[in-house]
Amino acid sequence: MTRIIVLIKDIPDLNEIKIDPSTRRPIVDMAKRRLNDLDKRALETAIRVKETSGAEVITLSMGDDRTKTCVLEALAMGADAAYIINDPRLRGMDAYVTSSVLSSAVRKIGSFAMIIAGELSLDSMGSQVGPRVAELLDLVQITYVRELKFEAGKFIAVRDLEDLDEVVEVEPPLLVTVAREINEPRIPSLMNIMKAKRKPVTEWNAEVLGLNFDELKISSKVEVLEVQVPEVRRKRIVIKADKVEEAVVKLLSALTTEGVLEK
Same domain, 79 and 133: yes
Whether 130 maps to a domain, the answer reads yes
Q: How high is the pLDDT of residue 25? A: 81
Q: How high is the pLDDT of residue 1? A: 60
Whether 227 maps to a domain, the answer reads no
Whether 181 maps to a domain, the answer reads yes
Tens-digit pLDDT profile for residues 36-56 = 999 999 999 999 999 998 899
8 A C-beta contact, residue 196 and residue 76: yes
Whether 71 maps to a domain, the answer reads yes
Same domain, 257 and 198: no
- Its pTM stands at 0.84
- Residues whose CB is less than 8 angstroms from the CB of residue 257 and which lie 6 or more positions away in sequence, other chains included: none
The average pLDDT across 90-118 equals: 92
8 A C-beta contact, residue 30 and residue 112: no
Q: How high is the pLDDT of residue 139? A: 97
Same domain, 61 and 173: yes
Whether 112 maps to a domain, the answer reads yes
Tens-digit pLDDT profile for residues 104-115 = 999 999 999 999
CA torsion through residues 178, 180, 182, 187, sign: positive
Is pLDDT of 33 > 70? yes
Tens-digit pLDDT profile for residues 54-82 = 899 999 999 888 898 889 999 999 999 99
Q: Which domain holds residue 143?
A: 3-219
Is pLDDT of 182 > 80? yes
Whether 183 maps to a domain, the answer reads yes
Same domain, 189 and 99: yes
> For residue 227, which of 63, 34, 20 has the smallest C-alpha distance?
20
Domain count, the chain: 2
- Tell me the average pLDDT of the chain: 89
Same domain, 47 and 175: yes
Distances (CA, A) of 215 to 106, 219, 220: 19, 6, 9
Q: What is the secondary structure of 165-184 as a DSSP string?
A: EEEEEEPSSEEEEE-GGG--
Who has greater pLDDT, 167 or 11?
167
Same domain, 68 and 127: yes
Distance of alpha carbon 36 from alpha carbon 123, whole angstroms: 8
Strand partners, 118: 178
Same domain, 251 and 169: no
Same domain, 167 and 261: no
Same domain, 137 and 240: no
Same domain, 87 and 37: yes
- Where residue 133 sits, what CATH number does that domain have? 3.40.50.620
Whether 224 maps to a domain, the answer reads no
The average pLDDT across 96-100 equals: 91
Is pLDDT of 221 > 90? no
Whether 184 maps to a domain, the answer reads yes
Same domain, 209 and 258: no
Same domain, 137 and 254: no
